[in-house]
C-alpha cells in the first residue's frame, strides 16, 4: 500500500498560443464521453525513456464544464512535499478574457495527480485542474508556467510556458433523478441548450457523433422548445450496468442502473497511528452491504491484485470499522461496495492523509 499522491490523463494536443475550438473542429477531431474536446497537435504520445527531453502536453480533456485535464508525453512525478504542491498550484493561472489577463487559481480550485484509474482509461499521466466554478460562456485559457514545479519521473520540465486553446463551455445537464436508480425507474434531467444527449457505455478516444449514436442505448435530441424543460429516459428495457448520460459538446454524468453506489470520499475516515493501531471508518452504508478493500496495484488483465479485507455491515448498522491491517505513512486504497441484489460498484481510489497521529491509548 505505497503512497501515490494523485494524477490524471488525456490524449492529443499542443498549442503555443490560444486557439478557439469551434464545434465543427471538436466533432472532426474527436472527443471522449462528449465531455472531452481534443485537437491533435501532431505530437505522438510515447512510452519511451524521455530523460533529457522537455515535457509536453499531448492532449486536453474537458470534463463537466468544470475541469481541465492536461495529459503529458511522459509519466509525471507524484512525490510532492506540501510546499512543492503549493508551488505547483501557484504556477497555474486562468484567463476568462481571451488571454489578455491571467489570474491564479482560487483556494477552492483543486489540483490532482492520479497515477491510475481503471474505470477511466484517460486517467493516466495527467495533471487535472478542477475548478470550483463552471466555465464562463466566454471560455477559459489555462496557462502553466515553465518552472521546475512540474516534472516527469526523469526530472524533465516544460521548456516554455504552456497555453491551452480557448476552451468553451458546452451543454450543461442537471440531473433531476438520482445518480443510482433501479432498472425501470426513469432518468430525468434538464439540458440548458440545444444539442444531442446520449445514454451509453461507449467511450472511445476518437468516437464521432454518429458512432456514439450507433452505440447508444437511448438518444434525446434537444431543440429550442425542449431546452430548459424536464426530459425523461425510460429504463425498463435497459440492462443493469454503469452508463454515462452524455451531452455532445458538453458535460456528462455517470448513471448507475441497478448498480451499487460507489464509496464516496466523505464516507471514509482514516486514522493512521504511530503505534500501528490504525482504523478505517466507513459510514453511510446499509445493513448487509459488503465492502471490499484492495491494495492499489492494478493490472488490466487481472484487475485489482490484492484484496486486503472484506467486511459485511451488521444488521441494524450503517457503518463499519476496519482495524485489521496497518496503513503506510501515506498511500491509497481501493474500495468497492456490493449491495444485495445489485451489481458491484465502480472502484473508489482514496488517499489517506500524509500524517501520523498519536496513539489513542
3-state secondary structure of 3: coil
Q: Do residues 30 and 58 make contact, with C-beta atoms less than 8 angstroms apart? A: no
Q: Do residues 258 and 342 make contact, with C-beta atoms less than 8 angstroms apart? A: yes
Residue 258: left (phi > 0), alpha (psi -120 to 50), or beta? Answer: left
Q: How confident is the model at residue 78 (pLDDT cuts 50, 70, 90)?
A: confident
Q: How confident is the model at residue 41 (pLDDT cuts 50, 70, 90)?
A: very low
What whole-number percentage of the chain has pLDDT above 90? 43
Q: What is the pLDDT of residue 202?
A: 74
- Do 253 and 274 fall within a single domain? no
- Do 208 and 144 fall within a single domain? no
Question: How large is the average pLDDT for residues 332-352?
Answer: 90
Indicate the pTM of the whole model: 0.58
- pLDDT of residue 203 exceeding 80: no
- Do 133 and 182 fall within a single domain? no
- Do 55 and 154 fall within a single domain? yes
Q: Do residues 347 and 118 make contact, with C-beta atoms less than 8 angstroms apart? A: yes
End-to-end CA distance of the chain: 25
Cα separation, 325 vs 159, in Å, equals 44
Structural domain total, the chain: 3
**Residue 320: beta bridge partners?**
282
Domain that residue 111 falls in: 23-163
Residue (of 312, 356, 313, 304) closest to 334 by Cα position: 304
Question: How large is the average pLDDT for residues 329-355?
Answer: 86
Residue (of 24, 120, 111, 7) closest to 67 by Cα position: 111
The mean pLDDT value of the chain amounts to: 78
Residue 197 to residues 34, 168, 246, Cα–Cα distance (Å): 9, 18, 5
Q: What is the pLDDT of residue 208?
A: 78
Pairing of strands 252-257, 180-181: parallel
Instruction: Judge whether 15 lies within some domain.
Output: no
**251-307 pLDDT per residue, tens:** 888 899 999 999 999 999 998 887 778 889 999 999 999 999 998 776 666 666 788
Instruction: Judge whether 1 lies within some domain.
Output: no
Cα separation, 234 vs 214, in Å, equals 18
Residue 352 to residues 17, 119, 298, 327, Cα–Cα distance (Å): 39, 20, 18, 8
Residue 132, C-alpha cell as written in the block: 470550483
Give the H/E segment covering residue 85: helix 82-90
Give the DSSP letter of residue 129: E
CA dihedral 314, 318, 321, 322 (to 10 degrees): 70
What whole-number percentage of the chain has pLDDT above 70? 76
- Do 112 and 149 fall within a single domain? yes
CATH number at residue 241: 2.60.40
Q: What is the pLDDT of residue 354?
A: 60
Amino acid at each position: 500500500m505505497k503512497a501515490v499522491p494523485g494524477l490524471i490523463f488525456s490524449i492529443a494536443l499542443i498549442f503555443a498560443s490560444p486557439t478557439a475550438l469551434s464545434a465543427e473542429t471538436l466533432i472532426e477531431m474527436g472527443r471522449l464521453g462528449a465531455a472531452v474536446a481534443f485537437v491533435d497537435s501532431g505530437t505522438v504520445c510515447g512510452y519511451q525513456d524521455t530523460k533529457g527531453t522537455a515535457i509536453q502536453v499531448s492532449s486536453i480533456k474537458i470534463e463537466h464544464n468544470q475541469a481541465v485535464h492536461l495529459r503529458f508525453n511522459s509519466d509525471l512525478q507524484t512525490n510532492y512535499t506540501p510546499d512543492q504542491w503549493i508551488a505547483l498550484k501557484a504556477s497555474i493561472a486562468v484567463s476568462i478574457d481571451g488571454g489578455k489577463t491571467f489570474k491564479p487559481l482560487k483556494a477552492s480550485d483543486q489540483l490532482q495527480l492520479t497515477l491510475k484509474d481503471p474505470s477511466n482509461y484517460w486517467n493516466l499521466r495527467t495533471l487535472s485542474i478542477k475548478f470550483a466554478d463552471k466555465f464562463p460562456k466566454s471560455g477559459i485559457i489555462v496557462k502553466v508556467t515553465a518552472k521546475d514545479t512540474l516534472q516527469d519521473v526523469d526530472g524533465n520540465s516544460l521548456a516554455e510556458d504552456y497555453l491551452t486553446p480557448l476552451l468553451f463551455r458546452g451543454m450543461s445537464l442537471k440531473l433531476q433523478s438520482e445518480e443510482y436508480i433501479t432498472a425501470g425507474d426513469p432518468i430525468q434531467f434538464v439540458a440548458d441548450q440545444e444539442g444531442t444527449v446520449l445514454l451509453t457505455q461507449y467511450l472511445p478516444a476518437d468516437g464521432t457523433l454518429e458512432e456514439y449514436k450507433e452505440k447508444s442505448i437511448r438518444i434525446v435530441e434537444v431543440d429550442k422548445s425542449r431546452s430548459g424543460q424536464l426530459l425523461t429516459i425510460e429504463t425498463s428495457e435497459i440492462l443493469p450496468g454503469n452508463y454515462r448520460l452524455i451531452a455532445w459538446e458538453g458535460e456528462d454524468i455517470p448513471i448507475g442502473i441497478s448498480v451499487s453506489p460507489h464509496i464516496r470520499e466523505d464516507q471514509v475516515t482514516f486514522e493512521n497511528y504511530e503505534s500501528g493501531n490504525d482504523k478505517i471508518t466507513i459510514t453511510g452504508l446499509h445493513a448487509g452491504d459488503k465492502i471490499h478493500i484492495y491494495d492499489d496495484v492494478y493490472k488490466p488483465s487481472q484487475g485489482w491484485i490484492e484484496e486486503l479485507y472484506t467486511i459485511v455491515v451488521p444488521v441494524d448498522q450503517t457503518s463499519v470499522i476496519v482495524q485489521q491491517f496497518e496503513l503506510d505513512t501515506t498511500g491509497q486504497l481501493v474500495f468497492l461496495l456490493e449491495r444485495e441484489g445489485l451489481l458491484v460498484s465502480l472502484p473508489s481510489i482514496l488517499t489517506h492523509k500524509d500524517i501520523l497521529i498519536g496513539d489513542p491509548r
